[in-house]
Amino acid sequence: MHPYQHPLFVNFMVYFNQNQDYFECHEVLEEYWKSLPNGNKEHPLTAYILLATGMYHWRRGNTTGAFRTIRKALNKFQLTGQQSSLYAQEIDLVQLLKNTQNVVDRLEQGLPFEPFSIIVESPQLARLIDEASQTMELLPFGSDAIIHKHMLRDRSDILLERHNSVEKRKKLNEEKKKGRRR
C-alpha cells in the first residue's frame, strides 16, 4: 500500500479538502506518523501536519504562528520533492508547492485567510477519499466547532501529560544537582 493510501492519510484528505477541519487533519496525520517505525521529524508526513497546523492558525488570526509553521511546511515539501518521487505519485506535489508558497506570500502581505485544496492525481486515492467521505461525520464547514476546535475539546489528558512531563524534568534536574554535590 502506498503511504498516501493509508486510511488516516485518506481521512486527512477528506478533512483538508471537504470541510477544512485543519485541527482533525493534524490529529489523524499525527496518529499515522507516530505509528510509523521510521516516523522521525524528517518524514514527509510532517510537512502535511505542519501545513494543517499553519492553516488552522491562519484562519484563527494567528498570522505569526501560521507564517512560521507554513514556511516550515514549504521547506519540508520542497525536500520531499527533491528526495523521493514516491510522494509525488498520488497528489500534485508541484501544485501543492505553489499553493503553499502562495499562502506564505499572502501571510507576508497581511492578506486574509484563503483555503486551497490538495489536488489528487491517483484515481485509486481519489476513490478511497470519496468512499471515506461517505462514511465520515464531518462538522459543518466554517462552524465555530471547526474554527475553534482546540478551545472546545476536553484537554484533561493533555494537561495531565504536560504536568507529568514537567514533574519528570524537575526530578531529573534534582538528581543531577545531587550528583554534582557529591
CATH code for position 26: 1.10.3450.10
If asked whether residues 142 and 170 sit together in one domain, one would say no
Q: Cell numbers of 154, please?
A: 476536553
If asked whether residues 53 and 80 sit together in one domain, one would say yes
If asked whether residues 132 and 87 sit together in one domain, one would say yes
pLDDT tens track of the chain, all 182 residues? 677 889 999 999 999 999 899 999 999 999 999 998 877 888 889 999 999 999 999 999 999 999 999 999 999 999 877 666 676 778 999 999 999 999 999 999 999 999 999 999 999 999 999 999 999 786 656 655 556 556 555 556 655 677 677 888 888 888 887 777 66
If asked whether residues 160 and 101 sit together in one domain, one would say no
pTM of the entire predicted model: 0.78
pLDDT at position 55, please? 96
Among 88, 62, 69, 79, residue whose Cα is nearest residue 25 = 69
If asked whether residues 125 and 67 sit together in one domain, one would say yes
Residue 91 pairs in a beta bridge with 120
Residue range(s) defining the domain that contains residue 164: 154-182
Q: Please, are residues 18 and 115 in contact by the beta-carbon 8 Å criterion?
A: no
